[in-house]
């Protein structure tokens, strides 16, 4: 799955799944723009990718702030001249341990939805004019199994359910334009967010973020250019035709 010549923006790339996807894309030949709110952690990932001779731009931004998103997109176009892939991975868990919705205050509930839902909306809206002009683009939204509402998932589960609906709406509205939108559920993986959500559990036996990147690479590649509106379980993914 060759990604040479492609440019991808990956949000929430300072750790976990975002970091792993950035590494996988660089390994496949793509140029990557990695973004997160924490500049120090982002720079560490940038250094890792540069050691691989990757083409990388690290840009600290808050995806819930539209002005910062516009700066990020403009910097990407200035550096690389195009945007082929957007991975909307950035998310926040909210309070931990996970309280029921009854115990959320308005500010906390709104913050989770702003980052986990409004953020992907704003990011997608910002890259779409460029993608539509080129009649090509792949947008990958990272969801969660708790979007079904099972368990005490609070605002995080609500936000992921909304993200799924947003993704399907974008996919239908963009059908036939060459821009495709798909959803990936990573499943339970060894991430800091999972440890925060379930501090009482031992997650050491779960897949690592690096283990679930093939579906992200495939969805970024031309091999999936006709796939849109799909929902993919990363841990069950097998390359078509293999």
**Residues belonging to the active site:** 156
Calpha distance 123→54 (Å, rounded): 23
Cα angle: 74, vertex 221, 122; to 5 degrees: 35
10 CB-side CA count, 13 A: 32
Helix, strand or coil, per DSSP, at residue 113: helix
Calpha distance 159→94 (Å, rounded): 11
Q: CA nearest 163: which of 89, 221, 102?
A: 89
For residue 137, report the phi and psi dihedrals to the nearest 5 degrees. Answer: 170, 150
Name 9's bridge partners: 33, 86
Helix, strand or coil, per DSSP, at residue 185: strand
In this structure, are residues 91 and 120 in contact, taking their beta carbons and an 8 Å threshold? no
For residue 130, report the phi and psi dihedrals to the nearest 5 degrees. Answer: -70, -45
């Amino acid at each position: 799955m060759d990604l040479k010549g492609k440019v991808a923006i990956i949000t929430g790339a300072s750790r976990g799944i975002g970091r792993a996807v950035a590494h996988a894309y660089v390994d496949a030949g793509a140029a990557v723009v990695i973004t997160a709110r924490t500049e120090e952690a982002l720079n560490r990932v940038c250094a890792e990718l540069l050691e691989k001779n990757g083409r990388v731009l690290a840009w600290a931004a808050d995806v819930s702030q539209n002005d910062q998103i516009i700066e990020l997109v403009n910097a990407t176009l200035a550096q690389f001249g195009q945007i082929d892939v957007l991975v909307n991975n950035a998310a926040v868990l909210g309070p931990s341990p996970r309280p029921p919705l009854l115990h959320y205050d308005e500010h906390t509930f709104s913050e989770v939805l702003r980052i986990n839902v409004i953020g992907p909306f704003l990011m997608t809206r910002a890259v779409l004019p460029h993608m539509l002009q080129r009649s090509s683009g792949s947008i990958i939204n990272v969801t969660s199994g708790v979007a079904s509402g099972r368990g005490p998932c609070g605002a995080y589960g609500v936000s992921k359910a909304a993200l799924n609906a947003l993704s399907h709406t974008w996919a239908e509205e963009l059908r036939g334009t060459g821009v495709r939108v798909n959803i990936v559920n990573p499943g339970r993986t060894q991430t800091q967010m999972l440890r925060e959500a379930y501090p009482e559990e031992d997650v050491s036996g779960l897949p690592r973020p690096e283990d679930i990147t093939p579906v992200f690479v495939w969805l970024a590649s031309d091999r999936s250019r006709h796939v849109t509106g799909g929902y993919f379980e990363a841990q069950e993914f097998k390359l078509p035709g293999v």
